[in-house]
Structure 1
């Protein structure tokens, strides 16, 4: 303590009764010392929760009553800012609107999820992956092996291996969100540092916007089929084409905009309510998928092309590398969902709600939908002699015979696939991108606004060029997996090897000098993580250039690139572990050997009063979450924090 007055002030804070008068007095007493505190008491203490659907809607859209802490705007500029800024319910200061830095550190959307919003049990995660797997994109990825000359059973083995690997990575990345109830932007702060995590989050935002655009384009193809089923198969020719590209017509662009607009209402709903969307989609889409399978088999009279569907028949090392490419396509396909698994696992109701359920259901569901896609593609090959990589192409061929039954069947299946695409796009991309955007500029962006920004950006991506062929699409997937895999490797090494599950939540939301995740620098950057991340990209980079048709890339580099996700993950994982062994970071468990994994410090935390505890932490520097774990924390980091003037 620097003075008797500081000691008295801290004592009053710890023992005062939680009344509004005491809070105002203590806040004003500390205000002169530049300490920013959290006012979590709010102004809704006497407000009854909405009972009806209409009351919920009114509460969502009406402006909130002015808080006693609010100051009236002084001019038009302040009025504009007041209109645009996001109102925080867990107030982080004694003023109406926090600054950009303070809102970045702590805001409603990135705060640990309290018990009332942790409503996902194991069934919701099952519904999530049933919903996620039954979409057109899964069929297309499943067809990768068939496009490479593998037969049906070779392709299906690759799918099982690939998605079992995906399930393992998803379960590994889910634990930190499951136990500590934090989103991916916060978990990335722990390993990369408070401020460098912005770059990591930006990577995920970009990929989320790209994927949102791609899935919207796939969804638009279902709209094309529905309109053709109603108005005739020649509708595309009847609408004049004014587009200056070979990859999309005016009719196709119109359908793209229709599906894009149809998704906008769904972006309004908060993430924890999406369990109902998953449930509905999980009921509808499997019926459509199996109905499509039965219909295709009936049309082909049960005849399947069980061999290779290409003129090229690979053998030897070429066959082996085609196996690898097919397996890696599963990891490349879900590399974004692997990385931001905490965005969903933070809503877990129990300790293991998101762990074992995802580990089991994910490979099973993707294997089921993939074998349906393989059989449909094989049956269509016997009918049309073309190796279709998209089920929508096969469905479109059914309209060649424009009978009432064909038109009705195509419309219903296309409608169900459209719902599948909408659900997958909202769950996998808009919410992920929106959550990550709240870490970039939370003063003006929340999850809902981030979802709409993602939708707006998707218009400029021109996904029809990415989806022009199977090879172009898989090349784009592989390219970005190079960057995401090395990020995931660092995050996993930090959590499982370096910290052994020991996380200090209060430090995740503070930029005070000496806090654990500022890493002893005002730049808030962990150089070990940055170095491991960059070096993890290096082995894949020559092959990445080769995939872009750059001449002179050796075949060995291309083979490394074919293993892109595994190479990037393992290199970054090992390098970060080595760096931390020779240069330990603060926050590692005290008295535990680096290679001693007999003690595990992960624990389930309750965070319902997290904002109040953050207030205490910001004032006196004592982390209430870790009072009973002081022997397990780095004593050096605690001393540094206190010596920097917080206490």
Structure 2
């Protein structure tokens, strides 16, 4: 029995504007420790994850300092992710429904759509980057392919379009049957990528031989500069997971108990992430001896290995890795978030299809190749994630003390304690908006760019303090008396 108290005594009927089968509390709890562990493997083992981990070793810190920063950062992520996981496991509901507790039954759409826009944009970008990796490896394996790339259309040649569309379609297949298909895919995809990465690490270390060295950079910082770089490395590690800190409940809602959440998170985050970082560093360090320069892009490393089988296996691996992280970090979130906007018309699968179509329409290659778009648009939206986290989980854990009414989350009626004012909670909006202004300023104001990595923390702390201060008087008495969990919400 968890610490969460769930009241179901009102006998309310859920509103079609707020309820469908996908948004209702999970009926099946079949995501065990291994499934959550495999989910985290899929999230971490990506081209972006590889580049991120390798890049930290070029920040001017020595190797042991980077590893300490990684350990501290992922430990913080582990504990915060457990909070998100506990909320999802106890209630059985996805992120946008959790957001209704603090933002209101309709105000939650704001929190959900912010997350959805980020997810859709990165879904398109990740798909395009992986398709480009496939094109590079195809040309490396069969140079003659380059002669048939065809004319440009909307910024991509025909080979680029073919690779993009294939990857796009494969990801749609993964969610064709909902979260159960996602679980089955993750169960084998994450470990498969691990095997390939480990083999690559062994090969490159052997090839490097006695020339192998973990000293990746000649520029080493000291004094206050080293301290700043150390805390930046910790902050970047935490913010790397900031999207899933909001919507990990989309997955943990299917876990049978809290112990499963903790075990899956422990294996998938501290253990897996540090292990992956070690492999990444080994490959990057070995690349200096083998290729004469440090290569932080795994695609380039595979392309330089003159072996067609390595190239083919590498291409398949990058496709699987991209599908894995896109499904975990982007597809699932966007599907639930869009379903929350119009549950009567959009279910999980339709939400995923809409996300996929929009991801093509935005031509993500143009978005990615525009520094202004990445910095101001996606960087600005990313800065809003901290305030959302601060408000939602301050409300759930500190103010309500995990005492909630599941039925009333689906009630379009002033009788619901989550209806607030016409379905919106003004106090959550006030706290979130003020925190967002400061967070955005820190993230986007160029003269303060050295402190931009800490914008998420500023947003979380400021939103949490403000929301607690203006809302605490409403929770002087326990909102709900302890009750036991009963059957699921029925339409």
Question: Does TM-score exceed 0.5, indicating one fold?
Answer: yes
Aligned to 1:96: none
2:301 corresponds to 1:394:
yes
2:10 corresponds to 1:103:
no
Aligned to 1:425: 326
Q: 1:528 to 1:315 in 2, by over 3 A?
A: same
Q: 1:473 to 1:203 in 2, by over 3 A?
A: closer
Q: Distance in 2 between matches of 1:137 and 1:469?
A: 18
State the shift of 1:230 in Å: 4.1
Structure 1 contact 544–561 (Cα < 8 Å) conserved: yes
State the shift of 1:241 in Å: 6.2
Q: 1:150 to 1:388 in 2, by over 3 A?
A: farther
2:459 corresponds to 1:568:
yes
The residue correspondences of 1:45-194 to structure 2 (distance < 5 A) are 102-114=15-27, 117-194=28-105
Structure 1 contact 161–327 (Cα < 8 Å) conserved: yes
State the shift of 1:317 in Å: 2.7
Q: Distance in 2 between matches of 1:159 and 1:281?
A: 24
Structure 1 contact 434–450 (Cα < 8 Å) conserved: yes
Structure 1 contact 176–342 (Cα < 8 Å) conserved: yes
Moved more, 411-420 or 339-348: 411-420
Can you give the 5+ residue segments of structure 1 that lack an aligned partner in the other structure? 1-13, 15-35, 39-91, 93-101, 548-552, 592-600, 613-647
Structure 1 contact 202–436 (Cα < 8 Å) conserved: yes
The residue correspondences of 1:527-606 to structure 2 (distance < 5 A) are 527-547=426-446, 553=447, 557-581=448-472, 583-584=473-474, 589=478, 605-606=485-486
The CA deviation string for residues 284-304 of structure 1, in whole angstroms up to 9 with x for no partner, is 211101111112223323533
State the shift of 1:185 in Å: 0.9
Q: Distance in 1 between matches of 2:154 and 2:355?
A: 25
User: Which residue of 343, 350, 363 corresponds with 1:449?
Assistant: 350
Aligned to 2:172: 264
The CA deviation string for residues 24-61 of structure 1, in whole angstroms up to 9 with x for no partner, is xxxxxxxxxxxx985xxxxxxxxxxxxxxxxxxxxxxx
User: Which residue of 118, 138, 141 corresponds with 1:227?
Assistant: 138
The residue correspondences of 1:350-389 to structure 2 (distance < 5 A) are 350-389=257-296
Aligned to 2:4: none
Q: Distance in 2 between matches of 1:483 and 1:253?
A: 33
Aligned to 1:503: 404
Q: 1:535 to 1:356 in 2, by over 3 A?
A: farther
Aligned to 1:325: 232
TM-score with structure 2 setting the length: 0.89
Q: Distance in 1 between matches of 2:419 and 2:154?
A: 50
Aligned to 1:214: 125
Q: 1:475 to 1:321 in 2, by over 3 A?
A: farther
Aligned to 2:152: 242
Q: 1:212 to 1:181 in 2, by over 3 A?
A: same
Structure 1 or 2: more helix by fraction: 2
2:314 corresponds to 1:413:
yes
Aligned to 1:291: 199
State the shift of 1:502 in Å: 0.4
Q: 1:122 to 1:206 in 2, by over 3 A?
A: same
Q: 1:271 to 1:490 in 2, by over 3 A?
A: same
Can you give the 5+ residue segments of structure 2 that lack an aligned partner in the other structure? 1-8
Structure 1 contact 144–326 (Cα < 8 Å) conserved: no
> Aligned pairs, how many?
482
Q: Distance in 2 between matches of 1:317 and 1:435?
A: 44
Aligned to 2:6: none
Q: Distance in 1 between matches of 2:41 and 2:484?
A: 27
Q: Output the aligned Cα RMSD.
A: 3.0
State the shift of 1:226 in Å: 4.5
2:239 corresponds to 1:349:
no
State the shift of 1:388 in Å: 2.7
Structure 2 contact 193–317 (Cα < 8 Å) conserved: yes
Aligned to 1:629: none
State the shift of 1:225 in Å: 4.5
2:220 corresponds to 1:307:
no
Q: Distance in 2 between matches of 1:174 and 1:162?
A: 18
Structure 1 contact 329–474 (Cα < 8 Å) conserved: no
Structure 2 contact 81–248 (Cα < 8 Å) conserved: yes
Q: 1:603 to 1:279 in 2, by over 3 A?
A: farther
Aligned to 1:611: 490
The CA deviation string for residues 163-209 of structure 1, in whole angstroms up to 9 with x for no partner, is 22222211111111111111111110001111211111110110110
The CA deviation string for residues 103-148 of structure 1, in whole angstroms up to 9 with x for no partner, is 222211111112xx21112222122212322222210111231343
Structure 2 contact 439–456 (Cα < 8 Å) conserved: no
Q: Distance in 2 between matches of 1:529 and 1:503?
A: 17
State the shift of 1:161 in Å: 2.0
Q: Distance in 1 between matches of 2:12 and 2:470?
A: 36
State the shift of 1:474 in Å: 8.7
State the shift of 1:353 in Å: 2.0
State the shift of 1:575 in Å: 1.3
Aligned to 1:512: 413
Structure 1 contact 242–250 (Cα < 8 Å) conserved: yes
Structure 1 contact 142–155 (Cα < 8 Å) conserved: no
Q: 1:205 to 1:337 in 2, by over 3 A?
A: same
Secondary structure of 1:503's counterpart equals strand
State the shift of 1:451 in Å: 0.8
Q: 1:111 to 1:509 in 2, by over 3 A?
A: same
State the shift of 1:577 in Å: 1.1
